[in-house]
A = this chain, B = another copy of it.
């Protein structure tokens, strides 16, 4: 078999080039797409920097370009700069493990009173013995059952909880749940949700999905967990519902974001806030490397790409 010209691609950081170094027939060039590159006419696949939108004219100047491969699951901001005839692939999957893990972390930290224990530790104060809260036996409702929702449910499963899931449309169950409820059933289901985990994409129909009415339907002492986007919850309604002490929240995303100093959410009782750290962890790089490897091998071999965005 004759030697073929290598598939030349660009990656935003040396770590990704290193991860692809042993892939036969692929040459990775480190390029951040900010300034023109002397080899840009060769690039058939480019990987923009994490959470960046490349300049439209830069992508237009790549005559061999076939694929833009993102490192984020979201892609809306890149759509306007995509040249015609070029395939856009999302980074879906790269953040699943990390985000699902944070949903469990926020749930457990809140239900097991870690914020109180952290504050008591700073005071060098050992709390008197009493009966504390726990996750076991709770009824957990996961709203959003895509890949991250599935990863969340898989992690909840061994904790001796009952699990109910909601997706945009009702469908049959799988190895983890008996059935998947439709979003139209949500307002009825929340009445039995001790833990409500939100992991739906932000769209016109999910904006403000968790509003004052839905929060009012939650049982007493319920916990709202958001690892999706802040605007899915009505922030004012959440502050009011938590301020009474009736429900609690543990959220990685806020609206507005970043949450400005002085915003009432910071000091609302029973609210635990992390600063949008769901995806940006040590779990990201190896999963990004595995996805890039899979995609460049597919492009090299002419087999189907995954995570292709229809547009």
Interface residues of A (CB under 8 A from B): 97-98, 101-102, 104-105, 108-109, 112-115, 117-122, 124-127, 129-137, 154-155, 157-160, 257-263, 266-267, 272-277, 280-286
Contacts and interface: CB of A to CB of B under 8 A. Distances in A.
How many copies of this kind of chain does the complex include? 2
A125 B286 CA distance: 30
Contacts of A104: 104, 108
Contacts of A284: 131
7 nearest A-B pairs in the assembled complex, by CB-CB distance? A134-B281, A126-B258, A136-B283, A105-B108, A97-B136, A134-B283, A124-B266
Q: Which of the listed residues A126, A127, A129, A133 has the most CB atoms from chain B within 10 Å of its own CB?
A: A126
Given A155-B159, A159-B101, A275 B120 contact: yes
A112 B118 contact: no
Contacts of A124: 259, 261-263, 266-267
A311 to B, nearest CB: 28
Q: Which of the listed residues A113, A119, A159, A284 has the most CB atoms from chain B within 10 Å of its own CB?
A: A159
